[in-house]
Structure 1
Amino acid sequence: MSSTTKSYWAQWDSLLIQDGVLCRKWENGRGDRCHLQMVVPKAKVPDVLQLYHSGCSGGHLGVKRTLLKIRERFYWVHCRDDIEDWCRKCTSCAAVKGSQIRSRGALKLYNVGAPWERIAIEVAGPFPETESGNQYFMVVMDYFTKWPEVFAIPNQEASTVADKLVHEVFCRFGVPLEIHSDQGRNFESQIFQETCRVVGTQNTNNFLPPTI
């Protein structure tokens, strides 16, 4: 299922219907205050953002203050990301702030629903060569269980990485839906991409889905 469906399913005990409206029980960080938020349908999200950021009562506040205002009454999955995107694209805010250098995005959380649905892969090295001729470590970790697998390899060529993945990971645990890796040449190579295509998995190549 989609990450949105998984998120609502994980929060099932916090959802309820009040006066025919889907709501979510929200507790503050200190745990001393709880209130209901209306769950906003996707089609109505722009209306809420327009009202609370760009409207007369919004005042073109920053992401943090806009998020605090919206959370007092509303909730939807990826709320923070939508607010950040709306504020970033606001022409009035851009005119006041002027040009800025884009920084790297923060790390995101990603929902997975089963073991080996999504795995991460990284190659570390070179290290001092062993008697077997290995100089690198290939680390594979499952997002759901956090189970790590580490393999010694002689080099970080795409063919070496693909061969180790197929024989040591896919044959033992099955083919994952997604493989998350950095944008190294070995992971961007035609050999590695073709291997992913043949076995039916997707290489996200440094793509991180949005947080909740």
Structure 2
Amino acid sequence: MRYSATDSEDLAVVEAVGAFDPYLYGCHFTVFTNHHPLLTIKSQTCSHGLQPLRWAEQNKDLLIKESITYLEGGQLPKSKLPTSICEFEISHGVLYHLREQSDRLLRCVVVLVQLQQFALRLAHCAPLAAHPDVIRTYTKEKQLFYFPNMFSRTKQFVTKYQECQICEGCASKNVPLASAPEVSHPLEPVSVDLIQLPRSSHGNLYMLVIVDHISHFVELIPLPDKKDRTNAEAFIDAYFTIYGIPLELQTDGGGEFNNKLMSLVCEVLLIHFKVTVPYHPQANG
């Protein structure tokens, strides 16, 4: 879905407030922006004639539209609601579902049918989400949005998601997972992996993650790409020369690590290079 510049700026504010929610909740705060049209967000009609937060497009869903009409003083919805109408409220033309959580009241935007699949992917497939299970995905969703039958839809989505099925299917349910070999000193084995993130202002797109098994110390090294030379230089310049040379380097066998250049580096530095079982991330530290 493509948004206008103003709507994109508005969404950036929403994401920022959500990210800093533990610090902002219950406090008055000021948002500074260089995008002047955002100052009209509190008015009912913006200068370009659009209602605030129209990007939600809730009026496309008949049930949501009827609920908004009722809460604004109209007639009762003709369709059957999945829960009590008292659990909803309207704010600036947008329908929210209210839910109590410990010491706060969550206001979750109601997602129309056309965007429910996108909402599920947002909670389960985000770069830092790590493809959580059904319960964790559902718990995250409840803090962000609401739509009817959300748990059953989440269970169906997660259990049928192809990448999750590949990882789940490779581990036998009849044989327990063997424990990792015991270590007694730092840098005996270290596990490495790559995480792809949105491109930073410095042009970096990946994060090289290195974890020591005994201390669980984590080193994060930003990288512009995942070429074999880039990875090799990062290992030597940003890890080996600072912390020392590990006895064993454990990876998931990706081409960015399992290549001739890295094999040569490990051979020269007397590092044992180890590859874990495919589609089994539990084995990599």
**When the two structures are superposed, what TM-score results if normalisation uses the length of structure 2?**
0.35
Structure with bigger gyration radius: 2
TM-score, scaled to structure 1:
0.47
